[in-house]
Amino acid sequence: MLQLPIYLDNNSTTPMDPRVLEAMLPYFSQNFGNAASRNHSFGWKAEEAVDYAREQIANLINAEPKEIIITSGATESNNLAIKGVFEMYAEKGNHIITIETEHKAVLDTCKHIEKLGAEITYLKTDGQGLITVKQLEDAIKPNTILVSIMYANNEIGVIQPIKEITTLLKSKGILFHTDATQAVGKIPLDVIANGIDLLSFTAHKMYGPKGVGALYVRRKNPRVKVTAQMDGGGHERGMRSGTLNVPGIVGMGKACEICQQDMAKDTERLMKMRDRLENELLVLEESYINGNKEHRLPHVTNMSFKYVEGEGLIMGVKDIAVSSGSACTSASLEPSYVLKALGLDDELAHSSLRFGLSRFTTDEEIDFAINHVKEAVLKLREMSPLWEMFKEGIDLKSIQWAEH
């Protein structure tokens, strides 16, 4: 039977796969050693487990195990990549290019180093959430040291033209970092074929545990170095000190392995369910998909239902857990900056829902979600003055609104 509420917010975090949990359990109280202890079997066992996991993690993105720097998650990885390059390559330049729809972990890191003398260019995306290589090329300067562009967007799932971007950057000798938090484990991702120099990702978005992530740091062509942001015992090739989170790393390794094994199968199933959800909801008048439909993740859709307000809508769909483009709940009253960047009207940005499906989502749950959302939208439109005006043919832009 259906268990309510239904979780469809898998871009925020995923449930842990039971197989991952099982792999982790022995590393809490049984094999609890410190992976850096070289003098006894407790340490060796932990180190062995970490080495094995590092291989599983590396395999998923076609990297070498030595290129995987374990962190506490994607936020730390993004910080390490951007701040680390900014410090390490200070002699080469101080200009970094990124895009305005990045996750806050990238944007705020950039803001931080701006105060320390970095020069940051924030590229604008088109109405579909994508940037072009031409835009990037025009932004490059002699002092550009790094370009940081997310692989897939967390709110709308659109995938940037990574290969084209890195082809350009290689020819100019500029490093490329990508926040691939939403993409790793969901779509095939190859750091070699895609010419990626630094890549951030995390375990808890791919059915692994929270609190563990990684930064891929390329070791050949070119050999990339980042200045450590966490000083101490010199763990992780000196780039990230701190006792390794062995159970977390084991879990991340297992999660990566499962993703690699099941990706094709999961993707096909998720895409079918996502498309069905989307098509059924598009039957509603004045409903829209946000972001590019072709270049995007298979398990995500972001939709707007015009003339209903996001927070009211979220309340109306209380039996499903989704996220809204409207940040009213955080008291800011600001609609999502990502949707605003696409040039969406405020009404559309406010009335959006993001659905993120997972390996554990069922057809039955999608059926329920479709009906639930439809009912809520119809009910709220029934009480929306904007809907009534729209139906009467009144142009909302022609009204002098009393802003408050």
Partner 1 sequence: MAYSEKVIDHYSNPRNIGTLDKNSKQVGTGLVGAPECGDVMRLQIEVDDATGIITDAKFKTFGCGSAIASSSLATEWLKGKSVDDALKIDNMDIVEELALPPVKIHCSVLAEDAIKSAINDYRSKNGFAPIEDTKKHY
Binding residues for partner 1, per CB under 8 A? 307-312, 315-316, 326, 328-329, 331, 333, 335, 345-347, 350, 380, 382-388, 396, 399, 401-404
Give the Cβ contact number of residue 266 at 10 Å: 20
For residue 15, the minimal CB distance to partner 1 (Å) is: 23
Q: What is the secondary structure of 320-347 as a DSSP string?
A: EE-EESB-GGGT--PBPHHHHHTT--HH
Q: Is 328 a catalytic residue?
A: yes
How far apart are alpha carbons 299 and 375 in whole angstroms?
23
Is 373:317 a contact under the CB 8 Å cutoff?
A: yes
Q: Hey, CA dihedral for 380, 274, 345, 286, is it positive or negative? A: negative
| Residue 108 or 346 with smaller CB distance to partner 1 | 346
Cα dihedral 219, 220, 221, 225 in deg (nearest 10): 20
At residue 389, what is the residue type?
M
| Residue 11 or 326 with smaller CB distance to partner 1 | 326
For residue 277, the minimal CB distance to partner 1 (Å) is: 24
| Residue 57 or 308 with smaller CB distance to partner 1 | 308
| Residue 116 or 315 with smaller CB distance to partner 1 | 315
Instruction: Kindly name the residue from 110, 256, 259, 328 that is annotated as catalytic.
Output: 328
How far apart are alpha carbons 313 and 28 in whole angstroms?
42
How far apart are alpha carbons 388 and 223 in whole angstroms?
61
For residue 397, the minimal CB distance to partner 1 (Å) is: 9
| Residue 29 or 400 with smaller CB distance to partner 1 | 400
Is 6:320 a contact under the CB 8 Å cutoff?
A: yes
CA atoms within 13 A on the CB side of 270: 23
For residue 354, the minimal CB distance to partner 1 (Å) is: 17
How far apart are alpha carbons 302 and 363 in whole angstroms?
19
For residue 385, the minimal CB distance to partner 1 (Å) is: 4
- The residues annotated as belonging to the active site are 328
